[in-house]
Amino acid sequence: MRPISVQVRGLLGREEIERYNDLWEVGKFLESEGRFDLARKIQREIDLLAEPAVEKLMRYENRTGQAPVVAAPVIIDNRKSDKENN
């Protein structure tokens, strides 16, 4: 079973999360029993459930004309300057 990312899970509603968790448990059980044929079908259902959230996340990440999310690094120099040394 392939889990969906935390970012995608964050975009799911309460009912979708509950459905995902239930499908995940069933899929893990089927894998433990060696029923990979049925686990594959459960994985497909999980993929279908997550598809709208994945598309929404991709639209969010591919925005153009927006300010960058990550700020420039700030350098803090705590050394004494030459004026303070004299």
Count of structural domains within the chain: 1
10 falls within a domain: yes
31 falls within a domain: yes
42 falls within a domain: yes
Separation CA 12–CA 48 (nearest Å): 12
Separation CA 58–CA 8 (nearest Å): 10
Token couple for 69: 């999310």
The model's pLDDT over 20-67, given as tens digits with 9 standing for 90+, comes to 999 999 999 999 999 999 999 999 999 999 999 999 888 877 666 655
84 falls within a domain: no
pLDDT at residue 21 in the model: 96
In terms of residue numbers, what domain contains 33? Answer: 6-61
Q: How much is the average pLDDT of 75-80?
A: 71
